[in-house]
Chains A and B, each alone.
Chain A
Amino acid sequence: MAEARPVERPLSPHLQIYRPMLTMMMSIAHRITGFGLYFGALLLAWWFIAAANPTAYSKFESFVGSWIGRLILFGYTWALIHHMLGGVRHLIWDSGRGLGPNEREWLAAANLAGSIVITLILWGIGLLAMGGTS
């Protein structure tokens, strides 16, 4: 009769209870890009060490020149810019500005749109400076 059953207590609302919002998505994206960039730093180390040696560099080049390598490099640069703009947003908030409902939404949209536009512009500058891709 006196059976000890675990009591089903209500939990505080978590992610699945909320309708996805842009500000929430950009907050999550900031953490995910930061997590990804952490391991992306390995690519930099590989690149810089390989650059000293022709054989090692041809190995690196064939990776970074493949479609998957290009995708990873493009993703890495996009994540850098997205995380950078997300950081600028946080610096604005640190100053006590941009916390109103409209400003928050605008900043989140600008973070996403800006990351795509700036990444494409930087690739444009970089590709012009090298005179075409290979």
Chain B
Amino acid sequence: MSAPTHIRTPLGRVLGRGSAKSGTEHFWHQRLTAVANIPLTIAAVVILIMLLGRNQAAAAQILGSPVVAIIMLLFIASITAHMRIGMGVIIEDYVHDETMKLSLLMANTFFCFAVGLAAAYGILKLSFGV
């Protein structure tokens, strides 16, 4: 009978979730949103620059049109998800006090949801014209 080569249980190996118990979820979501961000960023930058020099009515018309609104909503969703993971990594890298770290990780989540929702609210308000 041979001794086990490492201490990981067969179940732990199969589940593949590691010591953080979240597996490769963060890694995968960071890549998933990174890939989504490539076309969305290019489109969003061009749209934003197009808005410059236009008055409110013209800007509202562009941002509220279906294609632009959907691109912007996707852009907002993808970047805020990406922001949350990225800032989480920065906090974990530099903040070593446990209370401060957990507080900042919470604040990070609140910020990303609040900014994302605020921006999405702006776009939806223009789209539905209310």
Contact = CB atoms under 8 A, between A and B. Distances in A.
A129 B80 contact: no
B126 A52 contact: yes
Interface residues of A, number: 43
B72 interface: yes
Contact of A57 (B35, B59, B90, B115): B59
A125 B43 CA distance: 11
Interface residues of B, number: 42
Given A37-B83, A52-B125, A84-B38, A130 B53 contact: yes
A4 interface: no
A48 B45 contact: no
B52 A133 contact: yes
Contacts of B86: 34, 38
A47 B54 CA distance: 13
A134 B118 contact: no
A31 B63 CA distance: 30
Contact of B122 (A49, A122, A125): A49
A80 B45 contact: yes
A90 to B, nearest CB: 8
Given A41-B115, A48-B119, A84-B41, A126 B52 contact: yes
A109 interface: no
A47 B72 CA distance: 12
